[in-house]
Amino acid sequence: MLRRIGTAGLLTLALTACGGGGGPAGATPTGGGKAAPPAQTPAPQTTAPQSPPQAQAGAVGRALSKMSVQEKVGQLFMPVLYGTAADTVSGENQARYGAGTPAKVIAKYHLGGVILFPHNIKGVGQVVGLTNGLQKSSREVPLLIGTDQENGLVARMSALMTDFPGAAEIGATKDPDLAMAVAKATGDELRALGVNLDFAPVADVNVNPNNPVIGRRAYGDDPARVAKMVAAAVKGFGASKVAATAKHFPGHGDTDVDSHTGLPVIKHTKAQWERIDAPPFKAAIGAGVDAVMSAHIVFPKLDPSRDPATLSKPILTGLLRQKLGFKGVISTDALNMEGVRKKYDDGEIAVRAVLAGADLLLMPNDLPKAYQAVLAAVKSGRISQQRLDQSVTRLLTLKQNRGFLVKAPVADADEAARVLRSKEHRKLAALVAR
């Protein structure tokens, strides 16, 4: 899915998300000395900012109690929309979703979130207008507005944002303070544009040199070093008040198949998973990561069913929830990727992802079919009302923790112009590069 074009390093994506994405044709959401950190290195923030428990439960509970079943189901979905403004009429939106503008798609499906790609981006003022317009279109609950801004190979907003080195370059510095500072600066720029969720950092340990999809998107091949870098990046995003997502659970680092086009099989034993793949995810959870993204990979020693992890209850609920104790949002990788579409149709994929433990259904290949399938599963009792409420509560809690459950954030074009590609951020990028 990833292809470099030109010297500017822009990416052309067959819209998928993991480096994930959704795009015009469909696009995803998948060693050196220690450098001195910049003076502005943020103070560590180990958890997402929490409201007082009673106030948080009250706000989340009130929002949940006002929702119909249709609105709750809509909260689970984060598709890619087409257009550079909320009221842009697009034949792509009409063909895919039965509604011409992003605003109408949001209203029709009561969406909980939207993911942005390069085709949504023309300029700073335009993106600020787009994100503000999208928020105004969501009448029930403010939106999660996400993107894949890993930096390096996967940087959806690269046309506007500082060109920070990717994870491999940061990992090579062996300096977690730099990972934290880059994540903080990246989050500050995203928030200035109205983006409140980043599908980063990559928590995979890239132990296979033939890996076609992770490679230099990972901080390295040493589990302990990757874990330190991931934890630092999570804290950096937390300091910027942008939600972070560790990906791709249970670990996409040892594969020679791209899950955008095939279904990788990881042959690690459970002991190898504990030693190689698990440490960065444990570190992310310990640092207060907001979300964890699943991988479209088969991991037979963790689940012999040979379903991809995205559809595996033993992996998402058994390992991630129960063994690692993760209480935040579980996001699927992009559901338009071939790795998850080998065995089931687009409606059944969405239902099985929820039953496995996923909360956020990213970029379904067929949103109308997926939405109706989940709604029908709730009405039939296949997905219990309690199970639906668990996911919606987690999504609402993330929004509450990041400060925009009750009132939608409003981006400011002048502030964005000041923050994006600031002198301070360009100095930080140069420091890491050196």
pLDDT at 339: 83
Q: Which letter does DSSP use for residue 382 in this model? A: S
pLDDT at 32: 33
> For residue 234, what are the CA distances in angstroms to 31, 47, 148?
22, 9, 15
- Quick check: bond before 118 cis, omega within 30? no
pTM: 0.88
In angstroms, the CA 13 to CA 4 distance is 9
pLDDT at 286: 98
Helices (H) and strands (E) in the chain, counts: 16, 12
CA triplet 428, 291, 360: central angle to 5 degrees? 130
Greatest CA span in the chain, whole angstroms? 59
Q: What is the mean pLDDT of residues 303-312?
A: 95
Q: What is the mean pLDDT of residues 137-153?
A: 96
Q: Has residue 301 got a pLDDT over 50?
A: yes
Tell how far CA 401 is from the center of its chain: 16
pLDDT at 44: 40
Residues 89-100 have pLDDT tens digits of 999 999 999 999
C-beta pairs of 385-389 under 8 Å, 24+ apart in sequence: 385/69, 387/354, 387/355, 388/69, 388/72, 388/73, 388/354, 389/64, 389/72
pLDDT at 261: 73
Residues 6+ apart with CB under 8 A from 158: 8, 9, 10, 11, 118
pLDDT at 264: 84
In angstroms, the CA 419 to CA 432 distance is 19
Q: What is the mean pLDDT of residues 129-152?
A: 97
Exposed e or buried b per residue across 257-284, where buried means at least 16 C-beta atoms within 10 angstroms of its C-beta: bbbbebbbebebeeebbeebbbbbbbbb
Q: How crowded is residue 133: how many other Cβ atoms within 10 Å of its Cβ?
A: 20
Exposed e or buried b per residue across 163-180, where buried means at least 16 C-beta atoms within 10 angstroms of its C-beta: bbbbbbbbbbbbbbbbbb
For residue 57, what pLDDT band results from cuts at 50, 70 and 90? low
More confident position, 19 or 192 = 192
Please report how many Cα atoms fall inside a 13 Å half-sphere around the Cα of residue 133, on the Cβ side. Answer: 19
Tell how far CA 194 is from the center of its chain: 15
pLDDT at 7: 30
Residues 214-273 have pLDDT tens digits of 999 999 999 999 999 999 999 999 999 999 999 999 999 888 777 777 888 899 999 999
Catalytic residue from among 175, 254, 277, 333 = 333
For residue 167, what pLDDT band results from cuts at 50, 70 and 90? very high
Q: Has residue 45 got a pLDDT over 60?
A: no
CA triplet 403, 227, 306: central angle to 5 degrees? 90
Residues 347-387 have pLDDT tens digits of 999 999 999 999 999 999 999 999 999 999 999 999 999 99
* Catalytic residue check, 268: no
Name the residue among 307, 309, 278, 315 with its Cα closest to residue 296: 309
Q: Has residue 413 got a pLDDT over 50?
A: yes
Going by their DSSP bridges, the two strands 10-13 and 2-5 should be labelled as antiparallel
pLDDT at 166: 97
For residue 213, what pLDDT band results from cuts at 50, 70 and 90? confident
Residue spans of beta strands (DSSP E) within 124-282:
144-147, 149-151, 154-155, 197-198, 243-249
Q: Has residue 38 got a pLDDT over 80?
A: no
Catalytic residue from among 260, 268, 296, 425 = 260
In angstroms, the CA 77 to CA 100 distance is 18
Q: Has residue 182 got a pLDDT over 70?
A: yes
- Range of lowest pLDDT (10-24, 106-120, 330-344, 411-425): 10-24
User: Mean pLDDT over all residues of the chain?
Assistant: 89
Name the residue among 294, 387, 273 with its Cα closest to residue 340: 294
Q: Provide the angle, in degrees to the nearest 10, between the axes of the packed helices 124-137 and 176-193.
A: 70
For residue 285, what pLDDT band results from cuts at 50, 70 and 90? very high
* Catalytic residue check, 260: yes
Phi-psi sector, 317: left (phi>0), alpha (psi -120 to 50), beta? alpha
For residue 24, what pLDDT band results from cuts at 50, 70 and 90? very low
Residues 415-426 have pLDDT tens digits of 999 999 999 999
In angstroms, the CA 194 to CA 228 distance is 28
In angstroms, the CA 34 to CA 418 distance is 30
Q: Has residue 74 got a pLDDT over 90?
A: yes
